[in-house]
Structure 1
Amino acid sequence: MQLLLPTLWNQAIHIGTPLGDQFSVAWLEDSDSHDLTKETLAKQFQDVVKQTTMSHPQQFGQKSLASLEVGQFQGEKSKSKIHIPKRHSRDLINARDVPLVILRRKIDRTNDAAEAAVLEKRFETLIAGRRFLESSIKKIVSQLCSYGYCSDVKRVMSTRQPLINHSTYSKVAEKFQSSCLNLGVHTHGMKFMYVFANLVESNNFTQSTLDLFLEDLERACNNHIVNHGFEAII
């Protein structure tokens, strides 16, 4: 996912957050520039998807509603269109890099040496935490491969199989959350959950083999992640 930085970021660094992700901003711009009494939900979705190049929007729910006008849901508005300035790619940042971008810009803007040192230390800690986590996930996968759950660490780390077995994946994710890494605190860990989806889809787990896998996962976590010492890997 890509996020848009505020246009006046340099003048309003205290905001400390982007305006929104690429899809939501494209949706707002589309709503401002069309007659919502005529544009259908289907047409709006198609137009917004064209403007969303860094993620993969999908439709859910009762798709038969797609033929209805947007105005029935967002409210009718004036037919006059608002001119939307063209956005530039430089306004986009990866959603996962928001904490780093915010810190880096604060460091660049401060004139206080003491504050800069504190921010720089925090920045370095964030980088170190991310590097530790990526290395640790690779080690966990390597250990699981040594147990026979996979044959190629690089393949597990570099591919993204479609997730079909949601029930089994949920159990694996819950085990990782409870015995390995609290994803509510260490949010950067979400980046690597596809790895466990790959392992789930590559193994035809029965209840007994899944139980064994969960034990092996906990063992690998204890070896490579537990007691890592980082306050928050974000």
Structure 2
Amino acid sequence: MGRVLELLKVSALLLAVGGDVAWARPKGELWAVLVAGSSSWMNYRHQADVCHAYQILHQHGVPDDHIIVMMEDDIAYNPENPDPGVIINRPDGPNVYEGVPRDYVGSSVTPENFLRVLSGDAEGLRGVGSGKVVRSGPNDRIFVNLVDHGGPGIFAFPRSLLKATDLADAVLAMHRDRKFGEMVLYVEACESGSMFSNLLPDDIGVHIQRHFGHRSRRVGPASRARQPITVELSRAAAAAIADWLLGARCWSGSKVPEVFLNMVCLQSNCGSTIYAVSASSPNQPSYACYMDEHLNTFLGDVFSIKWMEDTDREDIRRESLKKQFQIVRKEVTSSTVMQWGEIRLDRQHLSQFLGGKKVASGGRRRQRGNDFCLVGLLSLLSSCGVLCKHGDPSYDVPVAVLESRIRSSSNPQKTEDLKQQLEGLRQNRTFVSAVMASLVVHVTDSDLDMVDKVMHNSHGITRWSCYSAALDVFDKGCFRLAENPYALRVLQPIVNLCEHGYTAEQFARAVQAVCTHDPVRGME
């Protein structure tokens, strides 16, 4: 009954203000943090993705002092690059490296520095890189783009790991400290959904307030502006109103009044909102695409290519986060693109998070109907230029690259060397998998039924303290995960052991017994 009364209250208000409704948007700034967490020519695509993201923000008017870029910066002038100073993100594409700020490069690209940048800890970055941090306030918007390898609950940096719990803690602390109004995160990594699953609340905006401002009217002998009317609603009531209004976009005018399209609280005094999109589900790999035979590496990742090429095509002042999500989810067929957090934030236009300056479309714009009732019925086809419909799993990129080099080699000695590299890579992978199998056997005391469950099932992470502690032991005692990317592929059994009730202490004892090999790196 209370919800019905709230609906009636707002309906009466809307009728009362009639044509004088105006949306009072809070004034705020846009900040962006772009991170490529990998290094080496084999991982060319990650820095190419981030450089392309920078070009999008720059072209749409976001100033460089509000864009912070973190990347190893070992690609543009890599000895393997036949075009020094050039990075491309699609075949025959433009140089996306040009003008990219080198805020944090090399050894300064760490999870700790990333969290300092994001949270605005300028003192913690004194003397490090450019020193730039996000200096946002309660009305500001933040766009975060993370691109690299990943695993269950982790995102890799060149020499260490960012845990999902650390990211969530940092973002939620920023929310409590009112350091942003809205935050959007796009994450490209294997198992990237696990960075948000069961960690990112969908209700951190605690209440809804609406502000409706009237035009100035003459009242009595003097003219004065009437004060804005404030309506307080529960989240459920506001959501119901929004759903109804957005589902009935048949208006007599040429455009729905802006207020009706923004019935979700996005103002600072309503609490900040967080929305995230992951390239894959919590237990899927992400995929690389655009294998370049000339450069002998992949130029991009499927999810990143899809969202950025859609952005390049569209007028982002009109396209919403939701529309882009729907397009990208449909076009990315190799993994399941997912959204997390406050899903209703997806009604915002992309320009709110990528910049509002108008840019000439890089391709033929799709037809759009004038009737708001038909917008959601448009069936959109992919037009990626050279189509990027699918690709190789990120973890198989080293194999695909070596196989490509073998095919293109005309030198018998070089061909033989490449074959030996490929065989060595496969042996290393077999070794990593065998070590994990031995650890599982040791922890389960050779319970073969349990071994089979742990090695082949795929549980989500709920026992975070156990998993985090066991992960640290494996990282230090068996394989440095950031330096041995393939080892990220065998972490699921650690999750499963914890979920089946085994402890981090039991796993640590197994590591002591099994991981007696010398430290290794380069397990691609």
Asked if TM exceeds 0.5, the reply is yes
- C-alpha deviation, 1:188, in angstroms: 0.5
Equivalent-residue separation in structure 2 for 1:68 and 1:88 (angstroms): 27
Q: Which AA in structure 2 matches 1:41?
A: L
Contact residue 321 and residue 349 of structure 2 kept, 8 A? yes
Contact residue 483 and residue 523 of structure 2 kept, 8 A? yes
Compare 77-86 and 159-168 and name the one that shifted more.
Answer: 77-86
Aligned partner of 2:523 in structure 1 is 233
**Larger-gyration structure (1/2):** 2
Contact residue 96 and residue 188 of structure 1 kept, 8 A? yes
Q: Which AA in structure 1 matches 2:288?
A: L
Contact residue 287 and residue 301 of structure 2 kept, 8 A? yes
**Structure with the largest fraction of strand:** 2
Q: Which AA in structure 2 matches 1:232?
A: G
Q: Which AA in structure 1 matches 2:365?
A: K
Equivalent-residue separation in structure 1 for 2:396 and 2:425 (angstroms): 10
Aligned partner of 1:27 in structure 2 is 307
Equivalent-residue separation in structure 2 for 1:86 and 1:113 (angstroms): 32
Aligned partner of 1:5 in structure 2 is 290
Q: Which AA in structure 2 matches 1:87?
A: L
Equivalent-residue separation in structure 1 for 2:435 and 2:452 (angstroms): 14
- C-alpha deviation, 1:157, in angstroms: 1.2
Q: Does 1:45 align with 2:358?
A: no
Equivalent-residue separation in structure 1 for 2:336 and 2:309 (angstroms): 18
Equivalent-residue separation in structure 1 for 2:315 and 2:399 (angstroms): 39
Contact residue 38 and residue 69 of structure 1 kept, 8 A? yes
Distance 1:219 1:151, change over 3 A: farther
Q: Does 1:184 align with 2:474?
A: no
Equivalent-residue separation in structure 1 for 2:348 and 2:522 (angstroms): 45
Q: Over residues 103-124 of structure 1, what are the superposed CA-to-partner deviations in whole Å (9 max), with x where a residue is unaligned? A: 1111121221221121111111
Contact residue 438 and residue 514 of structure 2 kept, 8 A? no
Aligned partner of 1:87 in structure 2 is 387
- C-alpha deviation, 1:130, in angstroms: 0.9
Contact residue 296 and residue 405 of structure 2 kept, 8 A? no
Aligned partner of 2:219 in structure 1 is none
Match of 1:112 among 411, 414, 434: 411
Match of 2:492 among 187, 194, 203: 194
- C-alpha deviation, 1:62, in angstroms: 5.2
Equivalent-residue separation in structure 2 for 1:43 and 1:25 (angstroms): 16
**Structure with the largest fraction of helix:** 1
Equivalent-residue separation in structure 2 for 1:169 and 1:230 (angstroms): 23
Q: Which AA in structure 2 matches 1:132?
A: F
Equivalent-residue separation in structure 2 for 1:220 and 1:81 (angstroms): 61
Contact residue 145 and residue 151 of structure 1 kept, 8 A? no
Q: Normalization by structure 2: what TM-score? A: 0.39
- C-alpha deviation, 1:64, in angstroms: 4.6
| Structure 1 stretches lacking a partner, 5+ long | none
Aligned partner of 1:160 in structure 2 is 458
- How many residue pairs match? The answer is 219
- C-alpha deviation, 1:102, in angstroms: 1.1
Q: Over residues 213-232 of structure 1, what are the superposed CA-to-partner deviations in whole Å (9 max), with x where a residue is unaligned? A: 1432223433xxx3168652
Helix, strand or coil at the partner of 2:392:
strand
- C-alpha deviation, 1:129, in angstroms: 0.8
Compare 163-172 and 188-197 and name the one that shifted more.
Answer: 163-172
Helix, strand or coil at the partner of 1:181:
coil
Equivalent-residue separation in structure 1 for 2:346 and 2:519 (angstroms): 49
Aligned partner of 2:438 in structure 1 is 139
Contact residue 130 and residue 233 of structure 1 kept, 8 A? yes
Contact residue 32 and residue 81 of structure 1 kept, 8 A? no
Equivalent-residue separation in structure 1 for 2:314 and 2:396 (angstroms): 32
- C-alpha deviation, 1:131, in angstroms: 1.4
Helix, strand or coil at the partner of 2:288:
strand
Contact residue 163 and residue 197 of structure 1 kept, 8 A? yes
Equivalent-residue separation in structure 1 for 2:520 and 2:507 (angstroms): 24
Compare 28-37 and 183-192 and name the one that shifted more.
Answer: 28-37
Q: Over residues 166-210 of structure 1, what are the superposed CA-to-partner deviations in whole Å (9 max), with x where a residue is unaligned? A: 2221101000011111112221110011110011111065xxxx4
| Structure 2 stretches lacking a partner, 5+ long | 1-285, 367-382
Equivalent-residue separation in structure 2 for 1:100 and 1:85 (angstroms): 26
Match of 2:423 among 124, 127, 134: 124
Q: Which AA in structure 2 matches 1:218?
A: V
Contact residue 179 and residue 221 of structure 1 kept, 8 A? no
Q: Over residues 146-179 of structure 1, what are the superposed CA-to-partner deviations in whole Å (9 max), with x where a residue is unaligned? A: 177x842122111110111222211010000111
Q: Normalization by structure 1: what TM-score? A: 0.82
Q: Over residues 64-90 of structure 1, what are the superposed CA-to-partner deviations in whole Å (9 max), with x where a residue is unaligned? A: 53221112322333465185347365x
